[in-house]
Amino acid sequence: MEQRIVTQLMTCMDQFHQNFARSDGAASEMDTSQSSDVEKIKPAEGYVVVIGATNRPDAVDRALRRPGRFDREICVGVPDEDARRQILEKLTRSLRTHVEGGQFDLDKITRVTPGFVGADLKALVDQAGSQAIDRFIDVKMNENGPNWWRHPCSQNEMESLSVTMDNFEEAIKMAQPSLRREGFSSVPDVKWADVGGLDSLKQELDRCIVRCIKHPELYKKFGVDMQDGFLLFGPPGCGKTLIAKAVAHDAGANFIYKKGPELLTKYVGESESGVRKIFAHARTNSPCIIFFDEIDALTAKRGNEGAWVVERVVNQLLTELGSSSDQGVFVIGATNRIDVIDDALLRPNRFGRKHFVPLPGANERASILKSLASSGKKPLSPSVDLDALARREECNNLPGADLASITDE
């Protein structure tokens, strides 16, 4: 059925092209076989324009994408920050907005909605309006009880009904952009306070990633490019994954989390295609942080016998990392086997920033234990001395994961 539809569409488009593009009046056998009404149409009398829309261009039959048919392709991308602001201005033009003590801050809403398309922004505004109505109803119920709807609203009450920044902030928490529903991970609920120790690494990641995402205009003003890949390496359980999640939470950017072995498949071309899709999603929804955990599974040194799948993945990673510069894509990798990673990936503009995550010392162990205890999930007796516990000989050379296990026990 689909093949018949495509064939008929190609035939119709070819006939229109021949009729409207002809200017010398010459007739062919196909022209004479057409109806007299079609033959009487002249180019000056009008044109037929066929416009198609799709979010899966690769699924369109190739015969329809050749010259003379759908030969002009226009990519309507995800709106950037300026475009989102213009869309929000139009969507909120008819709203009664209010912020106590100042003007309604559209700029803030624009900054915290990366990856939102027009339909997502429309849903966001609708949700904010719904939040405002719910707030108004709650006030009426508190004043008049369950039968609040029997009491008509006064003019002053209707004028007080407005959408506030609080409504938008609540709506943003509930919103799920269309492009995040496939390929994106939820932003982890891990804060800097949850990461014990590693103070110097925290400062470096905050300077090179978090601030660059929150204040890109400052880095652009001074021509500073901080978008070099980060590689965190060290013994297992030392907090490499945890600190990457804390970066994503603090930056508030889109987040893609992948484990290296998940991308490896036995089918030819699938692994490289997976890498391409990850970076394509990230560029479309920048700013975005990509975190590859156990990246050594993807980046083993080339030339080893039987590692042809990994070699193709390494080549694809080299291509993507080289083209992601200045596109709002930040890449973090974590491994406990830096010695097996291909040397080409460790040079600048790839994973040029390498940071060793060591086993915690006594002070770091105490900081980790306090972070674990401060979560509120494990109420401690006042008699527990975490500093003394961290200094015990049995805790020497214990990574953070083992300390977390101790608190669970």
Residue 61 pLDDT exceeds 70: yes
- Give residue 236's Cα distance to chain centre: 27
Tens-place pLDDT, residues 364-374:
778 877 777 77
Residue 40 pLDDT exceeds 60: no
Higher pLDDT, 73 or 2: 73
pLDDT reported for residue 375: 64
Q: Decide if domain 85-181 falls under CATH 3.40.30.10.
A: no
| Gap between the Cα atoms of 99 and 165, Å rounded | 6
Q: Which residues of 152-191 are buried (b: 16+ CB within 10 A; e: fewer)?
A: eeeeeeeeeebbbbebbebbeeebebebbeebbbebbebe
CA distances in angstroms from 162 to 135, 144, 156, 174, 243, listed in the order given: 10, 21, 12, 20, 40
Residue 14 pLDDT exceeds 60: no
Lowest pLDDT segment from 19-33, 64-78, 87-101, 217-231: 19-33
Token pair for residue 135? 């707030």
Instruction: Domain ranges for the chain, please list them.
Output: 85-181, 192-353, 362-408
pLDDT reported for residue 21: 43
Of 48-52, 116-120, 210-214, the range with the highest mean pLDDT is 116-120
Tens-place pLDDT, residues 292-302:
988 988 888 87
Phi, psi torsion values for 150, nearest 5 degrees: -80, -15
Tens-place pLDDT, residues 200-209:
888 888 888 8
Segment 122-129 mean pLDDT: 90
Tens-place pLDDT, residues 335-368:
988 888 888 888 888 888 888 888 887 887 788 7
Edge-to-edge order in the sheet of strand 288-293: 254-259, 288-293, 329-335, 230-233, 353-356
Segment 303-322 mean pLDDT: 79
Segment 384-395 mean pLDDT: 75
Residue 320 pLDDT exceeds 80: yes
pLDDT reported for residue 20: 41
Higher pLDDT, 213 or 186: 213
CA angle, corner 251, sides to 216 and 294, nearest 5?
A: 115
pLDDT reported for residue 86: 92
Q: pTM (2 decimals)?
A: 0.65
Higher pLDDT, 291 or 183: 291
Residue 273 pLDDT exceeds 70: yes
The domain at 192-353 falls in which architecture?
Answer: 3-Layer(aba) Sandwich (3.40)
Q: Which residues of 314-352 are buried (b: 16+ CB within 10 A; e: fewer)?
A: bebbbebbeebeeebbbbbbbbbebeebbebbeeeebbe
Segment 228-239 mean pLDDT: 86
Residue 97 pLDDT exceeds 70: no
Higher pLDDT, 156 or 2: 156
Segment 183-206 mean pLDDT: 78
pLDDT reported for residue 333: 92
pLDDT reported for residue 100: 47
| Gap between the Cα atoms of 315 and 308, Å rounded | 11
